[in-house]
Structure 1
Amino acid sequence: MIVKTLLAAICAGLIAGSFMTTAQELRVVPLILEAETYETAPLPGAPEAEGTPAAHEHSSRAGGSLFPSLASALQLVTPAYAHESAGQEAGHADGGIMFGLSRFSGTLIANLVTGAGFGLLLAGLGLVTSTPPTMRNGLVWGALGWLSVHMLPALGLPPELPGFPAGDLGDRQIWWLIATVLSALGLGLIALRKEIWAKAAGLGLLALPHLYGAPQPGDLASPVPAVLGAEFAVAALATTLAFWLVLGTVSGAINDRFLKTA
């Protein structure tokens, strides 16, 4: 039974990961590529350094700017499409990211692995709480996963485009991890317990990391337009919401179809 549950979770994660790749292609990736055109542009009023490359070229720090934190990584926005010319600058005329893979292939593989991992996590939590995902509660499971991993932490660390200022990497990773764990615990208390004290404790856990505050950069100046950053944050959160809803629904459908009848 447990083996079938885990296999069902992996299948649901692979389906959701494939869906996520399509969603990124339609909305998230174009915004990333557009932001890269601003990344090396000088700030308004700043003197242009001698030998500064054209705006369409990419800076030497391009490889890490898309993933300034673990939070960005778990938003399923992979570096596969970031910095389109990076592979060529490194001498890979085919533009592959590693082992000869295309950028689309790298994104797809990353999303499949991430989807399978979240699917297993959802199944594990369902077993622990004795409320596995079904067609009746699959959307609820998906919504809770999105709130815990993406939406609530994004209140302190929103999705960031290349070229946007960010706080210290290590500090942001620690804050995101703490915020995600506390959000999951808080939502669990609110959703699974009926006692008033549990509801109050859950709300307190949700608020705690934000009362402490997320690490912020000292300088907010950026060549990337703020409206583009806001559009990216909305697109990233919307696509991850769709991913989690698909994951919860498909997990529930597979559980109802194959596990209950087994």
Structure 2
Amino acid sequence: MIVKYLLAALVAGLFSGALMTVAQEARVIPLILHAEEYEGGGAETAPAGTGTETHLQTTQEHSALDLGAALSKVGSYLSPVSVAYAHGGAAHDEEEGGIMFGMSRFSGTLLANLVAGAGFGLLLAGVSLVTGNPITVANGALWGAAGWLAVHLLPAIGLPPELPGFPAADLAERQVWWLGTVALSAGGLYLLILKDGLGAKVAGMALIAAPHVYGAPQPTDLASDVPAVLGAEFAVAALATTLFFWIVLGLSLGFANEKIAKAA
């Protein structure tokens, strides 16, 4: 039975990841490409350190879902909003045979989101099984909202989603702070939502507040050629698309679980 629930989580994650790609293509990728226009000519003339790999690192760790990269780098990048293949012009990418392993930008983004969706689906199902709280259609949106809070919104208070070209602190420091914030936020939400008693509620609030009291690493120089209004628009779009992803994931997982329960 557990295998069936995990399989359902895998399918729900793949479905959510595919829809996430559509949402990114509609709103997130155009903003990234727009921001690249302020970097001195785009991918062909960008200086060293501002290419596709750097942009992938910057956007993935903050908007916090590329689980494929997380699996290979111990949770460094966990963001479904991070469009790994948005940098550079489409014509240039086609001439070079694609950005990664010969894939087009869209294909690479879709693959990353499918892997990320599957991973987060399995993670959500695992938490449900360990805590003994089943995910259903009735509470699926709440499960998804909790995942979004822990992985995206709460970490974004200290490290909001960033466009290419925005200043940022040391990468390793940001990764450590982000991962710690996700872990503490998840633990805090567990105590607040699933545990009874005043002590659990106070402890949950303390866990959530702890990384923000400590403070996220910030860059020493805040100067950027990218307009601040564009950065704000990207942050809103990134958080909105990740919320969409998590709500779809929670609902689709709840639907799959109910189908399995009825068939048992």
TM over 0.5: yes
Q: Do the aligned partners of residues 170 and 55 (structure 1) sit closer, same or farther apart at CA in structure 2, a change above 3 Å counting?
A: closer
Which residue matches 1:59? Answer: 47
Which residue matches 1:14? Answer: 14
User: SS in structure 2 opposite 1:239?
Assistant: helix
Which residue matches 1:215? Answer: 217
Which residue matches 1:244? Answer: 246
Which residue matches 1:83? Answer: 88
Deviation at 1:156, TM superposition (A): 0.3
Deviation at 1:234, TM superposition (A): 0.2
Q: Is the 8 A contact 2:42 2:88 kept in 1?
A: no
Deviation at 1:259, TM superposition (A): 3.1
Q: Is the 8 A contact 2:62 2:162 kept in 1?
A: no
The C-alpha deviation readout for 1:172-227, integer Å capped at 9, x for no partner, is 00000000000000000000012011111100000000000000000000000000
Deviation at 1:85, TM superposition (A): 6.5
Which residue matches 1:113? Answer: 115
CA root-mean-square deviation:
1.8
Deviation at 1:99, TM superposition (A): 2.2
User: SS in structure 1 opposite 2:245?
Assistant: helix
User: What stretches of structure 2 of length at least 5 have no aligned partner?
Assistant: 64-76
How far apart are the structure 2 equivalents of 1:55 and 1:152? 32
The C-alpha deviation readout for 1:121-169, integer Å capped at 9, x for no partner, is 0000000011121111101100000000000000000000000000000
Deviation at 1:246, TM superposition (A): 0.1
Which residue matches 1:169? Answer: 171
Q: Is the 8 A contact 2:29 2:83 kept in 1?
A: no
Deviation at 1:8, TM superposition (A): 0.1
Q: Do the aligned partners of residues 194 and 205 (structure 1) sit closer, same or farther apart at CA in structure 2, a change above 3 Å counting?
A: same
Q: Is the 8 A contact 1:9 1:116 kept in 2?
A: yes
Q: Is the 8 A contact 1:146 1:241 kept in 2?
A: yes
How far apart are the structure 2 equivalents of 1:189 and 1:231? 33
* AA at the equivalent of 1:37: E
Deviation at 1:75, TM superposition (A): 2.3
* AA at the equivalent of 1:20: M
* AA at the equivalent of 2:79: Q
Deviation at 1:97, TM superposition (A): 1.4
How far apart are the structure 2 equivalents of 1:83 and 1:143? 33
User: SS in structure 2 opposite 1:34?
Assistant: helix
Q: Do the aligned partners of residues 22 and 172 (structure 1) sit closer, same or farther apart at CA in structure 2, a change above 3 Å counting?
A: same
User: What stretches of structure 1 of length at least 5 have no aligned partner?
Assistant: 41-52
Which residue matches 1:27? Answer: 27
Q: Is the 8 A contact 1:138 1:252 kept in 2?
A: yes
Which residue matches 2:5? Answer: 5
Q: Could you tell me which of 188, 191, 194 is aligned with 1:192?
A: 194
User: SS in structure 2 opposite 1:155?
Assistant: helix
Q: Is the 8 A contact 2:24 2:83 kept in 1?
A: no
Which residue matches 1:134? Answer: 136
Deviation at 1:56, TM superposition (A): 8.2
Deviation at 1:39, TM superposition (A): 1.8
Deviation at 1:57, TM superposition (A): 4.0
How far apart are the structure 1 equivalents of 2:216 and 2:42? 34
* AA at the equivalent of 1:75: S
Q: Do the aligned partners of residues 135 and 153 (structure 1) sit closer, same or farther apart at CA in structure 2, a change above 3 Å counting?
A: same
Q: Is the 8 A contact 1:86 1:95 kept in 2?
A: no
Larger Rg: 1
Equivalenced residue count is: 247
Q: Is the 8 A contact 1:38 1:55 kept in 2?
A: no
The structure carrying a bigger helix percent of its residues is 2
Counterparts of 1:134-153 in structure 2 under 5 Å?
Answer: 134-153=136-155
